[in-house]
Every structure is written in C-alpha cells, then in structure tokens.
Amino acid sequence: MLDKVKNTISKYSLLSFSESVLVGLSGGADSVALLVCLQELGYNVSAMHINHNLRGEESDRDEQFCTELCKNLGIPLTIKSVDVKGYCHGNKLGIEEGARELRYKSFALAGTDKICTAHTLSDSVETLLLNLIRGTALKGLCGVPYIRENIVRPLIECTREEVEEFLSERGIEYVTDSTNNSDDYTRNKIRHLIIPRLIEISDCQNGNFYKNISRTIKSISLDESYLNGETECLLENAHIDRDTYDIEMINSQHEAISNRALIMLLKRYGVEVSQTKLEDLKKACFENKKINLKMNVYASAKSGKLIFSKGIKKTEAYSKEISFKSDETVDEDFFNRRVMIKLLNRDSELTNIHNMFTKKNIDYDKIKGRILLRNRLGGDKIRLPGRGITKTLKKLFNENIPIEMREKMVILSDDDGVIYVEGFGADERVSADKNTKRILYVEIS
C-alpha cells in the first residue's frame, strides 16, 4: 500500500517534501494509516483531531487515543473541541453537514500548505453509489476527488481492506466509531449490504470490483473535466459585461453544454443547484422572464441577454435637516461619503466652481420650508429641467443606477418634495436661472 500511496501522490502532484502537511486524524483505521504512510514517506507531517462531542465517552476515548498515538510517533498534534449540535442548531444544518463544516474550518485555520484527509477508494465507490441512488448528473459519478484546492487525498486509490492490512502488518492499533456498525445510516447500508453483494457478483464474472469501478470513475472524471472546460470557454465568450450573458450563444449549444453553463451560473451566484432551479433559469431564458433564484438573487432575460442581479438589504433611512447662514458650508457624512452643501451668493467667486451656474444647481430662494438631506422614499419624483416629464426616482434609478447604490443616493427635499438628486441635479421647480441670486451647491466625495 505504501507504494500505491507514493504513486498516487506522484501521479497527481499532491504533495512536495518542502510543504507542511496536516492530516485530519479521527483515530480510525483510514486516518491512522494515512498518518503513518506520510511519516514513513518522509513528509513534514502534523495532525489535528476534532472532538465533535457527539458520542460522549467514546468521543473522549478517540481524543485520548490520538494523543497517545502522536506522542508515540513523535508527530505534533492539535486537538480542537467543537460544539456540533449548537452549530447545527444555529445554522439550520444536519449533524453530518455541520460536523463537516466545522472540521474543514478548523483544518483551514491551521495554516499548513496542504490538508490531507483519509478518503479511500472504498469511500469513493460508496459516494458514487449513494449519488446514483439519489439521482445525479455526471459529476456525482466521479466519486471523491483526489484534490480540491489545498485539500488532498493520498489514499484515494487504496481500499479499506488494504488500509487494515497495512496497519495489521505493522501492529498499529486504531479505534472504531460505533456508529459505523449501525445500518441506520444510508452510507452504512451501502457499505455493509450492497457492496458485498456487488463484489460477489463481480467475482462470479471473473472481475475485480474495486479495480473496475476505479477505472470507471477515472473515465467519467475525464469526461466531466473536458465538458467543464468547454463550458467555461462558452461562458467566457458569452460574457458581455459584469453580470450579463448572451442567451443565444448559450442556448445554441448542445443541451449537455448549455445545461452545464446554466448550472455554473447558478453556482457563481450562490444558488443551491437543483433540477427545479435549473428549469426555472431555463424558463427565464426562453420566456424572457425575471425570476427570484434565492433571497436577493434574481435572473432576468431581455433582448437576448441573461442578467443576474443581487438585491440588497433595505438601507436604513437617513434624514437630517440642513440650515445655513450666509456663505456657510454644511459638511455631512452620508453612508461613508462626504457631502458638502454650500450656500453661495451670486456675487461670490462662482467662476472657481466648474459649470456652477447651470440648471443642475438649486436656486436657494425658491426652496419651500425646511431642507432635508436624506435617501429616497417611496413616491419620490423629480421633474428634470428641459425634459418636460416627471419621473419617479424608482424608475429613474432602475434605468440608470446600480442596485446597490439606489438607497444611498444623495437626495435633498423641501416641504414640497424633492429638490435635488445626486447625478441628476435640481428639480425644475427650484433650478437656478439668470435671475438667481443665491445658489445651493452640492459636492459629493
């Protein structure tokens, strides 16, 4: 088995001797064998044990075993104790999913170059069968990947039987999780009931079950890699700008590629992929509709373009009364931007302000009552000088302003309504003209 692990590491360039390597050590046979293998091969290895606090005394037994093992091997060990139940309750996760998240978060915080987990070929086959039973696309038939970012699996071509034989030859003990013996879990049913029967059938056909499945996984993985590469090229070519894509270019491809493209886009925008979500997105593409993919994530189709947008949390309302004395400047912080509002007399040095005396500026003497500096409110509208139409700010912003900025645009209003909108200038009612004597000038930085 040592030679097989060595070849796997070399074939997939999983590790180098100059790197720091962390092994996730549960105390079970697979992780113990991985730790011993990497030490025998000469890697700069350390270990981390995560106590999930789920099995009472048995969890404490596992922790103690890992402590003694690493002490005997002379390998540095870090022990982390995590509250899986509390984490799952707070994040609405299942126990298995929550425990996995906490493990990988702890591994990442160790700061090593590579993280090694003890997934074997047996785990990979179980994953394939589990996905097949549940229903899956091609990716689900690729088993457990040998590498994901800095997480590597040197045992991925070894079976569980080979692992146990390796430890037996060296007289190395390990612990067994009692839940592994229960058939209450679907994966255990596959491990204990289905795979033995498949091996029996394979033997009757003069085949090697694990060798054949491994060959199938590699073949499917090659196809998956190729199709993903083609899809990424398609999306790169279909990308128009920012969050906009050419629908026709995507839809003109074979469905195997176009479906993948849409799935990749769902993932890019943090949408959990399902057949329902895929069908919703396809419907938007073909019927020019706008759909809500998940909270604050939307997709819409228009004029041959697929546009993704993100909603934002409602920005807290901001409103502050502004008052002036002659030639005074009011300086306010407005959503992490600086807003300076100056009251200038016509006789002041207006020539020092670029394009000062235009219809975009406010005639101070036309203002009615109080002046408020605020963000927009429902029903706000403005009549821009020279356009002959009045528009709601909602419609004006939808046409011109990115969604994340719409609630943070500078608005000035008086008792009769909006008098100034950032980027658009003054309302016609209060815009400066040749008779203006005092100007309200707004500068935003």
Confidence of residue 443 (pLDDT cuts 50, 70, 90): confident
CA angle 273, 278, 280 (to 5 degrees): 125
**What does the pLDDT average to over 274-295?**
84
**What is the C-alpha to C-alpha distance for residues 434 and 95, in angstroms, rounded to an integer?**
73
Question: Quick one: pLDDT at residue 346?
Answer: 67
**What is the C-alpha to C-alpha distance for residues 427 and 418, in angstroms, rounded to an integer?**
7
Q: Which CATH architecture is the domain 2-214 placed in?
A: 3-Layer(aba) Sandwich (3.40)
**β-strand 319-322 against 371-374: which pairing, if any?**
antiparallel
Question: Quick one: pLDDT at residue 223?
Answer: 95
Q: What percent of the chain has pLDDT over 70?
A: 94
Residues of the chain with CATH 3.40.50.620: 2-214
Judge whether 156 and 8 are in contact, CB under 8 Å.
yes
**What is the C-alpha to C-alpha distance for residues 51 and 79, in angstroms, rounded to an integer?**
7
Question: Quick one: pLDDT at residue 341?
Answer: 87
Is the pLDDT confidence value at 51 over 50?
Answer: yes
**What does the pLDDT average to over 249-277?**
90
Judge whether 331 and 338 are in contact, CB under 8 Å.
yes
Tens digits of residue pLDDT in 77-102: 999 998 989 888 888 888 888 888 99
**What does the pLDDT average to over 5-22?**
94
Question: Quick one: pLDDT at residue 205?
Answer: 77
Is the pLDDT confidence value at 356 over 80?
Answer: no
Supply φ then ψ for residue 171, to 5 degrees.
65, 30
| Average predicted confidence (pLDDT) for the chain | 87
Question: Quick one: pLDDT at residue 384?
Answer: 86
Residues of the chain with CATH 1.20.59.20: 242-310
**Segment among 49-58, 283-292, 307-316, 422-431 with least mean pLDDT:** 307-316
Confidence of residue 68 (pLDDT cuts 50, 70, 90): very high
Is the pLDDT confidence value at 258 over 80?
Answer: yes
Confidence of residue 129 (pLDDT cuts 50, 70, 90): very high
Q: Which CATH architecture is the domain 242-310 placed in?
A: Up-down Bundle (1.20)
Question: Quick one: pLDDT at residue 352?
Answer: 44
Is the pLDDT confidence value at 349 over 60?
Answer: no
Inter-CA distances, 268 with 180, 274, 286, 445, Å: 36, 14, 21, 32
The tokens of 147 are what?
A: 């590498």
Question: Quick one: pLDDT at residue 355?
Answer: 44
Tens digits of residue pLDDT in 181-239: 777 678 889 998 999 999 998 888 777 899 999 999 999 999 999 999 999 999 999 99
More confident residue, 157 or 350: 157
**What is the C-alpha to C-alpha distance for residues 17 and 29, in angstroms, rounded to an integer?**
24
Question: Quick one: pLDDT at residue 311?
Answer: 63
Confidence of residue 348 (pLDDT cuts 50, 70, 90): low
Confidence of residue 273 (pLDDT cuts 50, 70, 90): confident
Judge whether 425 and 359 are in contact, CB under 8 Å.
yes
Question: Quick one: pLDDT at residue 433?
Answer: 83
